A and B are shown apart, each in its own frame.
Chain A
Amino acid sequence: MNQNSPDVIVTSLRNGLVAAADNYLNLLIQVQAPDAPEAATRTHRPALNLALVIDRSGSMSGRPLHEAKRCAGFIIDHLTPSDRLALVIYDDQIELLVPSTPVVDKRLFHSALAGVESHGSTNLHAGWLKGAEEVAAHLALAGISRVLLLSDGCANQGVTSTDAIASQCRQLAEAGVSTSTYGLGNSFNEELMVAMARSGRGNSYYGDTAEDLMDPFREEFALLTSLWARDLRLFVRLPFSGGRVRVLNRFPNHPRGGCRMPDLAYGGEAWAVAQIKVPAAVTAVSSGTLAVASFEIEYSDNQGERREVMVPALYLLVLNAKDYHALTENELVARRLGELQAADLQERARDAARQGDWAGVREILTRVRKLAETNRWLANVVAELEHLAAQEDRERFSKETYYQALSMRERLAGKNEAPDSAPASAPAAPYLRRKARIGKEGL
């Protein structure tokens, strides 16, 4: 692989389709970034233009605020003079602690943080917008401009509507300012925080307790400093009429066509499972092989240049039903498909938990466990969920399933990822880890 374009691999669950019948094909599309060149990891990365927006409302008092400040300190310590940082704190008032400034004198940021104390309610929108204002003033095509928003509560002052705030995050992301969110504890609104990050083309994380907050900050920082391609778009084109494409990862549609895949970092793989309906009329007139789909990937490189990769059509054998069922399933495609099904089931378990139906939750988790028979990571996830379900803690279960389902659909995979997530096969980059418990450090 060269350093300028990704490898794109398309694999079908089965290497064929049934003649004269409606077929629903599951295709895995893997978009793989090159490995990080040694020199690049140390000296060359896009400049970061960040705003750290920290909730200091009354509920953050004590350990949460202390940990939030420690995480902010981690970000400060890892930035370089070519990066910019603004510090914003908010409760019902917004305070710009440090305007967007090159990170030359780190003491300036540390001392500004040291005096922060907690009080007031949560004007989350205004805090976020203040951070966006600071970042927007210093946009650069080649750099990464992002607001990192941390909150342990619900937006209860100013603009509070999830749809309205997410729409603003989307518009600003299109204009070059992305948003990542960090929820803390059990009282924050996970639907708002995830919607902001998804619309804002950033990442969403949460920490179960203050002690679990550093892990996601480390993960995002590693991702930000290793990004290889941004604003990835996948187009699937069918060479026949009457067909249909459904991307099972439920990626958001891009405003200018196609669906938007996660940003891609060195050594990582963005992937999608596309389900394609091939109507009987098409397979009835075909013999031998049939072109089922072609693909196009668009992305922005680290210099902000728009690039595209055309992937030739995938051909599959047209077979009779007996020969088709004799085909073996591709193990990797089956595993990713299983993870997407597990994500759907987790959402249903979350709905059941929110209605207090814990028997229903346990029944759904039994189905997830069946999917996990050949997937050790999934088995570890379901064990954690069963443990949480046993506690019947609605908020905690709700948050874990919400974030875990999202992670299963949108995570970056390691290239040549092993079927299990045992420590021996764990990838080095924090953003490629498969966590058994999203909200917990080290799990």
Chain B
Amino acid sequence: MVTRSDESKAVLGRHRNFSGTAEEFAELAAVIFRDLGIPFDKDNRDPRQAINERLVRYYVQEGVLSPPEHLGREAHFKYQHLIEFLVARSLINERWTLAMVKQFIEAHNLAELEAALSMNQAQRLVRQFAATSAMPMSEPGYGASSPPPAVAPRVPASEATASGTTRRREIVRFELMPWCHVDVDVNELLRQGSPTIAQRLGAALAQQLRDEISKRGGRK
């Protein structure tokens, strides 16, 4: 049996290698809305009228779509942008603000966004709440399964000292997201002890992540 979700996958799969200008992107997005029979908004406006180059640029400016690649002066959009656009429209139709949409899209990778397209509103909200509380979730597409523990067992490690001997270190691993772990030296954490250390570490981590994204050509 072909389900609605299989149909969507097939339609979207045909455009996996898409690359085009904002105008071409808007045209393709309108065709996909029509082919999948998805309403563009609550008023059921014709997607060909509603989706245009201006709307696409506005979403880029608001951070709802990730920055397009630039070939010379021309911005080029890809399959990832298409998925982001479809997810964004479904969230906006559920009365999410652009800021919330931006946060949701930033917190999920392409596979997760593709999975989000076949989710209902409640499932997307659960994902959003989990992302903001750093709670691990079941893997999309695999149904329900026991999540990994929020805090992994303490891992003993060893470290060379100036005298050439080694001393054992107690490391605790925090799983901030299923794809992001942070190892902390427990003795050092206790030695620092200051209440501001958590804020300083948080700021340092945020900066590192921004730099890494920037280095790899993504948005900050």
| B-binding residues in A (CB < 8 A) | 86, 92-96, 99-100, 123, 125-126, 129-130, 132-137, 139, 145, 158-159, 168, 171-172, 175-177
CB pair A176 B144 closer than 8 Å: no
The residue in chain B whose Cβ has the minimal distance to the Cβ of A95 is: B146
CB pair A86 B129 closer than 8 Å: no
The residue in chain A whose Cβ has the minimal distance to the Cβ of B136 is: A94
Q: How far is the CB of B87 from chain A (nearest CB, A)?
A: 16
Q: How far is the CB of B101 from chain A (nearest CB, A)?
A: 14
Q: Which residues of B contact A129 (CB under 8 A)?
A: 126, 129-130, 133, 135
Q: How far is the CB of B144 from chain A (nearest CB, A)?
A: 3
CA distance A116 to B147 in the complex (A): 17
Q: Which residues of A contact B125 (CB under 8 A)?
A: 136, 168, 171-172, 175
CB pair B135 A100 closer than 8 Å: no
Is B109 part of the contact surface with A, judged by Cβ < 8 Å?
no
- Since A96-B144, A132-B126, A136-B125 are in contact, a sample of 10 more A-B pairs with Cβ atoms closer than 8 Å, ordered by chain A residue number, is A93-B150, A94-B135, A126-B133, A129-B133, A130-B147, A133-B126, A136-B122, A139-B122, A175-B121, A175-B122
CA distance A130 to B148 in the complex (A): 13
Interface string of B124-158 (1 = CB under 8 A from A): 01100110010101100001111101110000000
CA distance A132 to B130 in the complex (A): 11
| A-binding residues in B (CB < 8 A) | 94, 120-123, 125-126, 129-130, 133, 135, 137-138, 143-147, 149-151
Q: How far is the CB of A102 from chain B (nearest CB, A)?
A: 13
CB pair A100 B144 closer than 8 Å: yes
Given contacts A136-B126, A175-B121, contact A99 B144 (CB under 8 A): yes
CA distance A171 to B91 in the complex (A): 13
CB pair B150 A137 closer than 8 Å: no
Name the residue in B122, B133, B149 with the highest tally of chain A Cβ atoms < 10 Å from its Cβ.
B122
Q: How far is the CB of A243 from chain B (nearest CB, A)?
A: 31
Main SS at interface, chain A = mixed
Q: Which residues of A contact B133 (CB under 8 A)?
A: 125-126, 129, 158-159
* 21 CB-based A-B contacts, threshold 8 Å: A93-B149, A94-B150, A96-B144, A96-B146, A125-B135, A126-B150, A129-B126, A133-B123, A136-B125, A136-B126, A139-B120, A139-B122, A145-B122, A159-B133, A168-B125, A172-B122, A172-B125, A175-B94, A175-B120, A175-B121, A175-B122
Name the residue in B120, B137, B151 with the highest tally of chain A Cβ atoms < 10 Å from its Cβ.
B120
CA distance A99 to B146 in the complex (A): 9
Q: Which residues of A contact B94 (CB under 8 A)?
A: 175
Q: Which residues of A contact B143 (CB under 8 A)?
A: 99, 137
Q: Which residues of B contact A92 (CB under 8 A)?
A: 150-151
CA distance A176 to B123 in the complex (A): 10
Q: Which residues of A contact B120 (CB under 8 A)?
A: 136, 139, 175-176
Q: How far is the CB of A115 from chain B (nearest CB, A)?
A: 14
CA distance A86 to B145 in the complex (A): 11
CA distance A262 to B39 in the complex (A): 33
Q: Which residues of B contact A133 (CB under 8 A)?
A: 123, 126, 130, 137-138, 144
CA distance A130 to B122 in the complex (A): 12
CB pair B135 A158 closer than 8 Å: yes
Name the residue in A100, A136, A159, A172 with the highest tally of chain B Cβ atoms < 10 Å from its Cβ.
A136
CA distance A178 to B84 in the complex (A): 29
Which 8 pairs from chain A and chain B are nearest by CB? A99-B144, A136-B122, A175-B122, A175-B121, A136-B123, A133-B126, A159-B133, A177-B122
Given contacts A126-B150, A129-B129, A132-B126, contact A137 B135 (CB under 8 A): no
The residue in chain B whose Cβ has the minimal distance to the Cβ of A131 is: B126
Q: Which residues of A contact B137 (CB under 8 A)?
A: 133
Q: Which residues of A contact B135 (CB under 8 A)?
A: 94, 125-126, 129, 158
CB pair A137 B130 closer than 8 Å: no
The residue in chain A whose Cβ has the minimal distance to the Cβ of B146 is: A96
CB pair A99 B130 closer than 8 Å: no
Given contacts A93-B150, A159-B133, contact A132 B122 (CB under 8 A): yes
CB pair B121 A86 closer than 8 Å: no
Name the residue in B135, B138, B149, B151 with the highest tally of chain A Cβ atoms < 10 Å from its Cβ.
B135
CB pair A168 B146 closer than 8 Å: no
Q: Which residues of B contact A137 (CB under 8 A)?
A: 123, 143-144
Q: How far is the CB of B71 from chain A (nearest CB, A)?
A: 41
Q: How far is the CB of A300 from chain B (nearest CB, A)?
A: 16
